[in-house]
Every structure is written in structure tokens, then in C-alpha cells.
């Protein structure tokens, strides 16, 4: 008997491709969701993305031409920290209206720059496959998210700065806002890190401690940021705990003065 049903072409035999199903508990890969693949063309989209779709930022940082996004995030961080710095400067007014923004923006950038090499080393030691540019991008994302949140806190900080004369109080408030903003920034960094095939988080956790210490010491190295002094930059060296202790004891001796380091 002749075969009446010849075999169909090979392409017709194959079923449509089934999208890969990840086992339960395995994290999604960056870019699995099509919305994560959308480009980030401008600053507004970058702000939206880092707040609502951080994985989109992480995915874009792995693509060629991530330098543009990194530059955008860094520029935005500088602008936001300058704006928050003006709010900080309103506490003392005068020279601090321009000195505080400059010190905050430069302090933040210098801290990030100082900590970048150690971040790269720690991520490599943890088995991460992230490239330096991606690590730099994640750090830029941390700074951007942190400074955007500081802008969110700025109206509250301004109201308090207009209604108190206590330097330690305002210092504590700004530190609290900075700390909250940094926690969210670090969450972004950790999320990016977890997508880089790292075996352990110990290195990143160590780096977080280093970064926090560098940033708080920077506030002392660039003092006065909140109060006033005879010189714009300090003449002596101090550890941040000693500086904060000195501020607190000075407050107890002269409760209504803003003129101190």
C-alpha cells in the first residue's frame, strides 16, 4: 500500500517553543520580563525606574552603552545632593548656603570614589561575575536613590531647621534621614549584587560597613557642614565620634548658639 500521509515538513512537526520555566525558588534572570529591557532615555525615566523597576536599571547597566546611564545617575546625584545641601545650609545661613551643598555633594562623590575599588575587589572575591562598569553603575544607582530620597525628606528637614537652634538635634535629624536613604540605596546595591552569581554576601556586608564609616567620617573631615566656623574647612584632624561628642558637650554649655564646628 502506498503511504497516503506523507510526513509533514520538519518545521511543522516542531511544537511552538515553550518559554523556559525556572524551578521554584530560583531568582528570575535580569531581562526575563520584557519591561526590564526598555531603555532609560532620560532623567525622569531613570528616577521612575529606580523607584519602581530597579531591575530595569540593573539590566541596562549590563548593556553596551551603560556609560550614558551611569553619567546620568551620577549627575542627578550631584544635583539632588546640592539641593539637599541648600536645605542643610538654611540652618546657619550665610556662607553655609553655598558651602554646605558643595561639601555634601563633593563629600558624597569622594566617599563613593574612595570605596569603589574595595567594592569591586569584594564582589570579585565573592565570586561575582559583574564587570567594573556594572559595579560602578550599581554604586551610581545607590547614590541616585539615596539623594532622591533625601530630596523627599527635604521639606521636613527645612521645617525643622527653621524651628530649632539646636545643632545636635539638627545633626541627628540629618543623619537619620541620610541613614534611611542609605538603607534603601544599599538594598538596591544588594539586589544588583544578588543577580551577579555571587556565592557569598560576606564581602558585600563588609563593604557596607566600610562605606558607612567613610561617609560619616567625611562629614567630620569637611566640617562644619551644619554649623559655622572661622574657616570653611577644618584646621585639625578628628575622628567622627570625637567630633560628635564635642558638639554635644558644646551644646550643653551654650544651648542657643549655632556658631560651632
Partner 1 sequence: MPDPAEGFFMSITRLNVCEIGVLLRGEREAMAAWMEQWNAERLRLHFLLVIGGAGFYGAAMGWWRAPEQALFTAIKFPLVISLTVTGNALINGMLAPLLGLNLSFRQSFSAVLMSFAVASAILGAFSPLMAFMVWNAPPLSPETLQGATYPLIKLANVAVIAFAGTTGNVRLFQLLVKLGGSRAVARRVLWVWLAVNLFLGSQLSWILRPFIGAPNLPVEFFRAAALRGNFYENIFQSWQQIFNN
| Contacts to partner 1 by CB under 8 A | 51-52, 148-149, 151-156, 159-160, 162-166, 169, 184, 187
Q: Cβ 10 to partner 1, closest distance in Å? A: 45
Stated as kind and residue range, the H or E segment containing 61 is helix 54-61
Select 119 or 181, whichever has its Cβ closest to partner 1. 181
- Determine what percent of the chain falls in helix, strand and coil, rounding each to the nearest 5: 65, 0, 35
Residue 25: CB minimum distance to partner 1, A: 19
Dmax (CA) for the chain in angstroms is 111
- Whole-angstrom CA distances from 253 to 168, 241, 260 are 13, 19, 12
Residue with smaller CB distance to partner 1, 118 or 164: 164
Least distance (Å) between residue 171 CB and partner 1:
13
Half-sphere exposure for 109 (CA within 13 Å, toward CB): 17
Q: Which of 112/149 has CB closer to partner 1? A: 149
What minimum distance in Å lies between the beta carbon of 49 and partner 1? 10
Name which of 117 and 245 has its Cβ closer to partner 1. 245
CB of 11 to partner 1, least distance (A): 41
Q: Are 225 and 219 in contact (CB under 8 A)?
A: yes
Contact between 206 and 198 under an 8 Å Cβ cutoff? The reply is no
Judged by beta carbon, residue 55 or residue 103, the one nearer partner 1 is 55
Pick between residue 153 and residue 193 the one whose CB is nearest to partner 1.
153
Closest CA to 56 of 184, 212, 188: 188
Q: At closest approach, how far in Å is the CB of 257 from partner 1?
A: 13
Closest CA to 55 of 200, 168, 243, 190: 190
**How far apart are the C-alpha atoms of 100 and 224, rounded to whole Å?**
8
Q: How far is CA 1 from CA 4, 5, 257, in A?
A: 9, 12, 108
Amino acid at each position: 500500500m502506498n503511504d497516503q500521509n506523507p510526513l509533514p515538513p520538519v518545521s511543522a512537526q516542531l511544537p511552538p517553543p515553550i518559554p523556559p520555566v525556572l524551578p521554584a525558588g530560583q531568582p528570575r534572570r535580569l531581562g526575563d520580563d520584557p519591561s526590564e529591557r526598555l531603555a532609560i532615555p532620560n532623567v525622569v525615566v531613570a528616577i521612575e525606574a529606580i523607584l519602581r523597576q530597579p531591575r530595569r536599571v540593573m539590566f541596562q547597566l549590563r548593556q553596551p552603552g551603560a556609560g550614558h546611564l551611569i553619567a546620568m545617575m551620577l549627575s542627578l546625584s550631584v544635583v539632588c545632593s546640592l539641593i539637599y545641601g541648600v536645605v542643610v545650609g538654611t540652618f546657619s545661613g550665610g556662607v553655609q548656603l553655598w558651602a554646605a551643598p558643595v561639601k555634601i555633594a563633593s563629600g558624597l562623590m569622594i566617599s563613593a570614589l574612595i570605596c569603589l575599588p574595595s567594592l569591586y575587589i569584594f564582589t570579585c572575591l565573592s565570586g561575582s561575575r559583574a564587570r567594573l562598569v556594572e559595579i560602578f553603575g550599581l554604586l551610581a544607582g545607590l547614590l541616585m536613590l539615596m539623594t532622591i530620597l533625601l530630596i523627599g525628606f527635604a521639606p521636613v528637614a527645612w521645617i525643622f531647621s527653621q524651628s530649632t537652634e539646636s545643632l545636635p538635634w539638627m545633626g541627628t535629624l540629618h543623619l537619620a534621614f541620610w541613614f534611611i536613604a542609605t538603607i534603601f540605596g544599599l538594598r538596591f546595591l544588594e539586589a544588583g549584587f544578588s543577580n551577579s552569581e555571587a556565592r557569598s554576601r560576606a564581602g558585600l556586608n563588609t563593604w557596607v560597613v566600610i562605606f558607612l564609616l567613610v561617609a560619616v567620617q567625611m562629614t567630620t573631615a569637611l566640617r562644619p557642614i551644619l554649623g559655622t566656623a572661622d574657616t570653611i574647612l577644618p584646621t585639625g584632624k578628628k575622628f567622627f565620634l570625637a567630633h560628635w561628642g564635642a558638639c554635644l558637650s558644646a551644646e550643653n554649655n551654650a544651648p542657643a548658639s549655632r556658631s560651632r564646628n
